[in-house]
Amino acid sequence: MINEKHHPELILDSSFLMHMAKKTVLGMERISDWAVETVVLEDITRELDGIKNNQDSVQSARAAALASQYAKNLRSVNHVGHMPVDEKLIAYAEEHGAMVATLDVDLRKKLLNKGIPVVSLKNERAIMLLPKQRRP
């Protein structure tokens, strides 16, 4: 099922949200130019809450707390099912024609292989990675 909304969705994963909390990401204003609605999976919010409560890494806990605050300002979406968060991200993106913002290299490869556009960073600038066109 393709997203029927006027604006395609961009799902922010925890790695991208935490990076945004630590550093200014240049080019993020361009995301508005791409006319997308930025959303977060409920599972990502729970993941951030777990990280912010982890006392082993104060720096990660602080970044997760800031990312969690930012995520509360986004529309929260859900994908029902018992699967890992990355699999939920992929399934939601496929079902809704969404893009995913991530810094996770393995997740990025999976998304691109499934034909899902990815927002990532290069030299601290937001970039759009498009899946390669498959040849018949």
**Residue 96, pLDDT above cutoff 90:** yes
pLDDT digits (tens, 9 = 90+) for 42-53: 999 999 999 998
pTM for the structure as a whole: 0.86
pLDDT digits (tens, 9 = 90+) for 25-66: 766 666 656 657 889 999 999 999 999 988 788 888 999 999
Angle among Cα 64, 79, 31 to the nearest 5 degrees reads 60
3-state secondary structure of 54: coil
**Residue listed under structure tokens 């030299």:** 123
Structure tokens at 80: 């029902």
- For residue 81, what pLDDT band results from cuts at 50, 70 and 90? confident
Say if residue 7's pLDDT is above 80: no
Q: Where are the domains of the chain?
A: 9-129
**What does pLDDT average to over the chain?**
86
CA distance 136 to 125: 34
Q: What mean pLDDT do residues 100-111 have?
A: 96
With 50 as the cut, is the pLDDT of residue 105 above it? yes
Torsion of CA 78, 80, 84, 85, to 10 degrees: 0
At 4 the pLDDT is 47
User: Across the chain, which distance is largest between two alpha carbons, in Å?
Assistant: 51
Cα dihedral 86, 71, 81, 111 sign: negative
Cβ neighbours for 61, distance < 8 A, ≥ 6 positions apart: 51, 52, 53, 54, 55
Using a pLDDT cut of 90, give the percent of the chain over it: 60
- State the pLDDT at residue 5: 47
Percent of the chain at pLDDT above 70?
85
CATH of domain 9-129: 3.40.50.1010
